Amino acid sequence: MLIGSSLKMYFGRARTVEWTRAVADICAAHPAVREGLVEPFVIPSFVSIAEVMPIARAAGMLVGAQDVHWAEPGPYTGEVSAAELAEHGVSLVEIGHAERRAHFGETDDTVARKTAAVVRHGLTPLLCIGETVESDPTRAAEVCTSQLESSLARVDGSLANRLVVAYEPVWAIGRSDPADDEHIRLVARAIKTALVATPFSAQVIYGGSARLGLLPRIGDAVDGVFLGRFAHDPLAFGGILDEALDMEEMR
């Protein structure tokens, strides 16, 4: 099971390090992590990756990047290549988040190019998909599986390894509550069905106002949760780990 958070642009350097140390201490001591039941992860800003890496790795946490450029190293001012991320030891690369699409004009094609680049360099895409308009689960699943297909269109299947799909209904991001439990279950299962036809070993996690109490209700349909501002309190992150451990003990 995967449990982690993207810090977006909320934290500066000092708070990023402070948060990572606090969460790393919790993870290092937590049975869910120590017993291999949960892979925790953190996705800091680009400029914090190098400093976060040794702290997180020592506690068994994966470190991700919030974006990537699709090209090989070259004249792309301000961008970061998959090759450089691999050199820094990054494991996950977040691609196609709704904010990237809304604020920076990312399209299905740019998402596909970035996904292909990440796979070429042996990294794991953390591919964000989700419907923009609240609708019934059947329609939402159609939108998500279409996004999934377009996002993987440029991938060299012979290089495919691990893939993480974050189902994040855009309309639920930033709300006080996540999407309805049954809605999440139905859409996540449809995504998993679509993933069977791909060459990846894939997991589906849920984001979009994920918080304490949600994982036990949807854990039969997802492989973890992608936390936002709820996880800014390290103790809240630890609470989700507790839930994952409780679920395993109840099986």
Active site residues: 97, 168
d(CA 14, CA 65): 18
Query: Tokens 């470190």 — which residue?
Result: 63
3-state SS, residue 41: strand
Helix axes 137-151, 108-120, angle to 10 degrees: 50
d(CA 29, CA 47): 27
Spatial CA neighbour of 110 closest among 122, 101, 119? 101
For the chain, the distance separating the N- and C-terminal CA atoms, rounded to the nearest angstrom, is 14
Q: What token pair was written down for 189?
A: 């299962």
- HSE at residue 77, side-chain half, CA atoms within 13 A, is 0
DSSP assigned state of 72: P
d(CA 238, CA 184): 23
